[in-house]
Structure 1
């Protein structure tokens, strides 16, 4: 389900698209959110011509259907009940910007981090970026990883030896996942060319 206008129109950063385009984008993004909650990956992937997620906190890109499916699998093994509460929904010239709470219970491993059984409720922003043909080309997500981790370890009992061992395994997992270079596609940015009017 993608929004397709009758013809491609170059974007002017000062002019919002027609209301019908904004409504089509909004429906696509809301369907995308619901499909993620329902874990209907085929429907979620169909919202993109080419699935592409950018996780800015981790400086990581999941590009293409196989990589995005792996991302879905990893996060739902870790948080099988993951869901959203939308806070605000905004339109821009080339994107839908959604502020939301992401919620979930840490029931399985998240990469190298063992399950804690803890829950989190984390405020996030996602930019759903559209091209000039009204295809969804990127979901770019901003969040604070430490906010999630802090909530997940709150329930670990630090007074028991088993709790101390779990905290050490969590720390080891966090350190193992923090290595690696950032994705170059997120580093190679070009400032916009602003025209000053005096």
Structure 2
């Protein structure tokens, strides 16, 4: 198979079912079921330049994101197939009731457009979910929910700014910065 050849329809349908089950099980917080969609779980978050690789790291990612957004959900916009991936455009929604990284809970809701590439290997194993989104869009919505006339919300805003500065100082994961150009011939 080449980059110009799609797999047969039954393979595309199997990939689509796996990805839809993956989304559904994330919303249900059925982590064992989500993890079962990978032989080796791996999430790559391009906006924050972080990688969660392996079961322990991915379970930590699930715990952290659902502590921040216990009602996190997805609204699928579009579903596309490529030679080695399923590409899903979706709205991610949630209410921030816990810390989001170093940013304290704001109580704000967000609805952020995202794209996730579910990448498959030559044996049809899901090897990574690579997620692209605008992190500033999420933060703008969460911080925009604060009432700057209330001292308590001003304190939360100050803590959020300090948290964002702490998070901005992290080194990007080399797995996302060390790339090789594709072979285009």
TM range (shorter): over 0.9
1:33 corresponding residue in structure 2? 23
More deviation, 152-161/36-45: 152-161
SS in structure 2 opposite 1:84? strand
2:171 corresponds to? 181
Secondary structure of 1:168's counterpart equals: helix
For the residue of structure 2 that corresponds to 1:191, the secondary structure is coil
Match of 1:106 among 96, 106, 113: 96
The answer to whether the aligner puts 1:63 opposite 2:53 as a matched pair is yes
CA–CA distance in structure 1, aligned partners of residues 118 and 96 of structure 2: 26
Distance 2:151 2:73 in 1: 33
Which stretch shows the higher mean deviation, 14-23 or 179-188? 179-188
1:194 Cα offset (Å): 1.6
The separation in 2 between residues aligned to 1:107 and 1:169, in whole angstroms, is: 15
Partner SS state of residue 190, structure 1: coil
Count of aligned positions: 185
Alignment of 1:42-57 (within 5 A): 42-57=32-47
- What residue is the counterpart of 2:81 in the other structure? 91
Counterpart CA distance in 2 for 1:136 and 1:173 is: 33
Unaligned runs of 5+ in 2: none
Runs of 4+ deviating beyond 6 Å: none
Highest CA radius of gyration, 1 or 2?
Answer: 1
Match of 2:155 in 1: 165
TM-score for the superposition, normalised by structure 1:
0.92
Offset from partner CA, 1:109-148 (integer Å, 9 cap, x none):
1121110000000000000000000000000000000000
1:23 has 2:29 as partner:
no
Q: TM-score under structure 2 normalisation?
A: 0.98
Q: CA deviation at 1:171?
A: 0.5
Report what 2:123 is aligned to: 133
Shift of 1:163: 1.9
Higher mean alpha-carbon deviation, 93-102 vs 154-163, is at 154-163
- 2:91 is equivalent to residue 80 of structure 1: no
Q: Deviations over 1:53-105 (max 9, x none)?
A: 00000111000000000000000000000000000000000000000000000
Aligned-partner SS, 2:25: helix
